[in-house]
Structure 1
């Protein structure tokens, strides 16, 4: 296994899911990060245009993603001279499991001359200063948690509350390709609710129904940093938001809507 997904030689839209996609809860279901990265993979290859960049991706999770072959399709749903919308759908043999919309935006050429005072600033201590956390709460021996590297600046999986965590993919999303900045960010951002969990993993479930990532700048390098916080509510609906960084500074934000309940 050298990637999360293996392309099907007979169908460019179909991919074999490897064990590296497995999530923490079930041996037969995927973590949300790899399929979000696969959707990003398809979105960026949908009628690509020079001088354009994806600024936002919103993913709706329609149900558990099985550890099985998947088909991904993308199309330009709303063409435009400067802004266009792309729709993508991920399906198993049982039907759609995820869908996404993305805004692709024309980059200013030449770049705008903006004062430094209005540009986003700030950094987080780099991954070389963070601690690796191997206490991922799962009984699965192989999965997404073994295919990425977590390094916590603040918090940990065993320390409930907000966290600052660097994440690096050890493998490409699709075999034979290099993960793009968008693929890396989508795959990492789905872990925001996990790294910043405020409730005991053994007593509660907190499942995200969606993932929205907005990037004002695509990250550089292999590491993506999540400065994440989760807000639970007694009625069982919560949310997670994260500021997203690379080693040069801020790149965007992510949000997730959560279903929260007691374990039965």
Structure 2
């Protein structure tokens, strides 16, 4: 069973694997963000044949969504021959839940220039297995295999993968790994989430190459400020090394309720 099953052209049914983590009856938003990237790629491939590449994906999370039927609509907000800005909206019962904006850029041969000073992290087999279900409930966390080395609360390097398909149709490695990105905010908590809620209201990933493979690696730091603001920031890896960065803005609230109202 996949995280989502396609019902028709733009409607999808969330399955039990998307449940949690703040509330079991609600979706963990991670798979939905991957679904939005998948829909952006499908729309691109229907419209053009030059395979523009995603360089930034920014998701604004407008609220919670039950484990139920959702719809995705995609539109081009800035058309262009070499650069596009595309918007995708995930909705439930007519209410927008996530607004995604993706910049897509033309391909050029820069192999001779490729490189990054971002440090690598230990390979998945070099880190110990970690039971994320000891901290977080829900079907999504149960579906993920996690290997982690934690330096201190709020600072860790980890790898995650899942054998649950994103949706019941072929997807790219990028879309599948984007369906794991939101896990980063819960993999090295500063405080017990039963005592303090710290859901993210957005997620923005910048990429300098397309990731490959089944493992998502994150070099993650979590910071809380004195007035209820927080930030989870990660350097993203696949088994070949770093491929981008990730930021998640947090609302930090003493007490377990993660309401975004």
Q: TM-score, normalised by structure 1?
A: 0.90
Residue 258 of structure 1: which of 247, 250, 258 is its match?
A: 250
Say whether residues 1:152 and 2:169 are aligned partners: no
Q: What SS does structure 2 have at the residue aligned with 1:47?
A: helix
Q: 1:137 to 1:259 in 2, by over 3 A?
A: farther
Q: How large is the Cα RMSD of the aligned pairs?
A: 1.8
CA contact (8 A) 1:152 1:163 kept: yes
Structure 1 gap ranges (5+): none
Residue 203 of structure 2: which of 211, 216, 223 is its match?
A: 211
Say whether residues 1:196 and 2:175 are aligned partners: no
> Corresponding residue for 1:99?
99
Give 1:146 deviation, angstroms.
1.4
* Bigger proportion of residues as strand: 1
How many pairs does the alignment contain?
Answer: 253
Residues of 1 paired with 2:23 and 2:163: CA distance? 22
Q: TM-score, normalised by structure 2?
A: 0.91
Give 1:199 deviation, angstroms.
1.7
> Corresponding residue for 2:167?
174
Say whether residues 1:39 and 2:36 are aligned partners: yes
Q: 1:78 to 1:115 in 2, by over 3 A?
A: closer
Residue 28 of structure 1: which of 22, 25, 41 is its match?
A: 25
CA contact (8 A) 2:150 2:188 kept: no
Deviations 1:220-248 (A, max 9, x none): 11001011101101200111110001111
Bigger shift: residues 39-48 or 128-137: 128-137
> Corresponding residue for 1:134?
131
